[in-house]
Amino acid sequence: MGNIKAYKNFINGQWVASSSGETFNNINPANTDEIIGTFQKSNKDDVLKAIEAAAEAYRKWRLVPAPKRGEILYRVASRLWERKEEISRDTTREMGKVIAETRGDTQEAIDMTFYMAGEGRRLFGQTTPSEMPNKFNMTVRQPLGVCSFITPWNFPIAIPSWKIMPALICGNTVVIKPATDTPLSVVHLMEVFEAEGLPAGVVNMVTGSGGAIGNVMIDDDRVRVVSFTGSTEIGRKVSEGCAPKFKHCCLEMGGKNVMIVMDDGNLDLAVEGALWGAFGTTGQRCTATSRLIIHEKVHDKMMAMLVERANKLKVGNGLDETVNMGPCINQSQLDTVLSYIEIGKKEGAVLASGGQRLTGGAYDKGFFVKPTIFTGITQKMRLWREEIFGPVLSVATFKTFEQAIEMANDTAYGLSAAIYTQDINKAYTAMRDVYTGIFYVNAPTIGAETHLPFGGTKETGNGHREAATAALDVFSEWKSVYVDFSGKIQRAQIDNQ
Ligand code: UN1
């Protein structure tokens, strides 16, 4: 292993070492012998330099015409496309999910970049009549300044792109701290920005732990927007950190997403959906299907089909195209998953499939666990209530449609939900009554597309949405402009009576 590559921070257009002089290893969760590279353990000093660079770059970047900013993003998207396979392979190596999924992750970044590039020629405001004669009213979007991003490891390049691309098109500048487990994907993104001539300082990256530098990224007066994706616990702290100075704060947090299967649902389709929703990305998605509620009339039949299929899922190194599910991201996540399996057993849930760590041979070098399904879940159990972020599916039954809706909403979170039914009336009623930010009919809870708003209700978010034009509202503020060409004083609400 003599030749381990050393990666640096990207500040003001330069690749620089942290002033801490310290680095950390990024390891492959499917094979802990493999070190992906060493990365900078950044400190406060590094973050302040990055914020300084972003604040300086903002002075010019905000004045670059948005279509010109868009042209750079088009080029960035094209280069990401050219490098898609290479980047995706590296993402699988550092994150563990299967290569088909990391190709999807990179594609999601490409889609978002093209989408936001196009916004460069839109960024629509409104014009509207004035209540006065000879007066013109309009609204324009204005950027805010420096944005701090703290991003998770489960979508190592897509989620950074969801934040960076709308921020840039609106005219802001960026400091990003990628997750400690997956910095290489964001290094690749920085390389692409550099290669396509994004001006120095417009995007900056510091690696390292959130505990060490997160506060500086949030507290500094020059930072005007903070966007965070991760746990509700940390999100609350981020929100509190932003509150005293009224910073824009966009939070994407936990989920406990439900799939409802009605007795008239297509069970073959529902089984496919549940497998993909629960075990895709090893269950490590905010959108993962973690609660499955099945009408009692079809419960046993669907469970038999589901367990048979779950037992056949091939778990292993995600670079092997025949593998269906990769490892957990790290030891601590594996420990969490295993502890929830114990909690499930203790609480009296019935283990229907999986339920243990995979060992022996190559498995011993990674954080592998079997796809796990518990039945007999009740609404009091922790498996029903708490986000696990791993391949553990909790299954319960219901008798009536009304009960299914009540159960679906019985959660602190509100990201995504799904219903499988052939009855259009039930589909629309559920769409209306399940209180989430995302809803699927005859499809699992995962798989959002970049041109629709992404985010959730209740403890999943704080009212903002990522992606689509909704993201522009996080990264710009409205300015209402009144142009009076009457040549005289016209008092609103008074002179028009
Ligand atoms: C996440 O889990 O944080 O909708 C993002 C999906 C993906 C994004 C998930 N497009 O499942």
Question: How far away, in angstroms, is 101 Cα from ligand 1 center?
Answer: 11
Asked whether the beta carbons of 92 and 146 are under 8 A apart, the reply is no
- CB-ligand 1 contact for 154 (6 Å cutoff): yes
**Which residue from 105, 111, 182, 286 has its CB within 8 A of the most atoms of ligand 1, so it is best to mutate?**
286
Testing ligand 1's pocket by substitution, the residue of 97, 227, 279, 454 carrying the most ligand atoms inside 8 A of its CB is: 454
Atom of ligand 1 lying closest to residue 286 CA? 2
DSSP state of 365: G
Say if strands 416-420 and 438-441 run parallel, antiparallel, or are unpaired. parallel
AA identity, residue 280: G
Residue whose C-alpha is closest to residue 250's, from 472, 69, 51: 472
CA of 416, closest atom in ligand 1 = 4
Distance between the two ends of the chain, CA-based, in angstroms?
81
The minimum-distance atom of ligand 1 relative to the CA of 448 is 4
**257-261/289-295 β-pairing:** parallel
Q: Kindly report the number of other CB atoms within 10 A of residue 76's CB atom.
A: 27
Structure tokens at 215: 């506060």
Residue to mutate, 155, 416, 439, ligand 1, most ligand atoms under 8 Å from C-beta: 155
Position in ligand 1 atom list of the atom nearest CA 438: 4
147 with 227: CB under 8 angstroms?
yes
Q: What is the pLDDT of residue 46?
A: 98
For residue 152, give the ligand 1 atom closest to its CA: 3
Ligand 1 mean position, distance from CA 390 (Å): 14
- What is the value of pTM for the model shown? 0.97
Among 281, 285, 329, the mutation site with the greatest number of ligand 1 atoms within 8 A of its Cβ is: 285
Q: Does ligand 1 come within 6 angstroms of the Cβ of 447?
A: yes
**Tokens of residue 410, six digits:** 């019985």
Query: By the 8 A CB rule, do 340 and 349 touch?
Result: no
How many C-beta atoms lie closer than 10 Å to residue 241's C-beta? Answer: 18
CA distance 302 to 93: 35
Q: What is the pLDDT along the chain (497 residues), one digit of tens a residue?
A: 458 999 999 999 999 999 999 999 999 999 999 999 999 999 999 999 999 999 999 999 999 999 999 999 999 999 999 999 999 999 999 999 999 999 999 999 999 999 999 999 999 999 999 999 999 999 999 999 999 999 999 999 999 999 999 999 999 999 999 999 999 999 999 999 999 999 999 999 999 999 989 999 999 999 999 999 999 999 999 999 999 999 999 999 999 999 999 999 999 999 999 999 999 999 999 999 999 999 999 999 999 999 999 999 999 999 999 999 999 999 999 999 999 999 999 999 999 999 999 999 999 999 999 999 999 999 999 999 999 999 999 999 999 999 999 999 999 999 999 999 999 999 999 999 999 999 999 999 999 999 999 999 999 999 999 999 999 999 999 999 999 999 999 999 999 87
Ligand 1 and 286: CB distance under 6 A: yes
282 lines ligand 1 (CB under 6 A): no
Tell me, using a 6 A CB cutoff, whether residue 446 lines ligand 1.
yes
How far does residue 244's CA lie from ligand 1's centre (Å)? 31
Residue with tokens 């599910």: 325
Order of strands across the sheet with 257-261?
A: 350-353, 372-375, 392-398, 289-295, 257-261, 416-420, 438-441
Give the Å distance between the CA of 30 and the centre of ligand 1.
21
Paired with 28 in beta bridges are 31
Residue 178 alpha carbon to ligand 1 centre in Å: 17
Q: How far is CA 470 from CA 121, 169, 253, 454, 464, in A?
A: 16, 13, 17, 8, 8
Task: For 194-214, give the secondary structure using H, E and C.
Answer: HHCCCCCCCEEECCCCHHHHH
Cβ 155 under 6 angstroms from ligand 1: yes
Tokens linked to 406:
């009540």
Which residue lies with its CA nearest to atom 11 of ligand 1? 446
Distance CA 350, CA 369 (A): 18
285 lines ligand 1 (CB under 6 A): yes
- How many CA atoms lie less than 13 Å away from 77 in the CB half-sphere? 21
Quick one: 9-253+461-480 is in which CATH superfamily?
Aldehyde Dehydrogenase; Chain A, domain 1 (3.40.605.10)
Distance 97 CA to ligand 1 centre (A): 13
Residues of the chain with CATH 3.40.309.10: 257-441
Phi, psi for residue 4 in degrees, rounded to 5: -85, 130
Whole-number Å distance between alpha carbons of 154 and 102: 10
CATH level 2 (architecture), domain 257-441: 3-Layer(aba) Sandwich (3.40)
> Residues of CATH 3.40.605.10 domain(s) within the chain?
9-253+461-480
Atom of ligand 1 nearest to the CA of 449: 10
Shortest-distance Cα residue to atom 3 of ligand 1: 286
- Ligand 1 centre distance from Cα of residue 38 (Å): 27
pLDDT of residue 121: 98
The catalytic site residues sit at 252, 286
Question: For the purposes of burial, counting CB atoms within 10 Å of the CB of 488, is it exposed (0-12), middle (13-18) or buried (19 or more)?
Answer: exposed
**Separation of CA 111 and ligand 1 centre (Å):** 14
Does the beta carbon of 448 lie inside 6 Å of ligand 1? yes
Give the rounded distance of the alpha carbon of 344 from its chain centre: 27
Strand partners, 31: 28
Ligand 1 in contact with 23 (CB < 6 A)? no
pLDDT of residue 2: 58
Cα–Cα distance for residue pair 482/139, rounded to 1 Å: 9
Q: Could you tell me the distance, in angstroms and rounded to a whole number, from the CA of residue 287 to the centre of ligand 1?
A: 6
Q: How far is CA 97 from CA 75, 207, 325, 346, 367, in A?
A: 27, 21, 7, 30, 12
Strands (E), 143-182: 146-150, 173-177
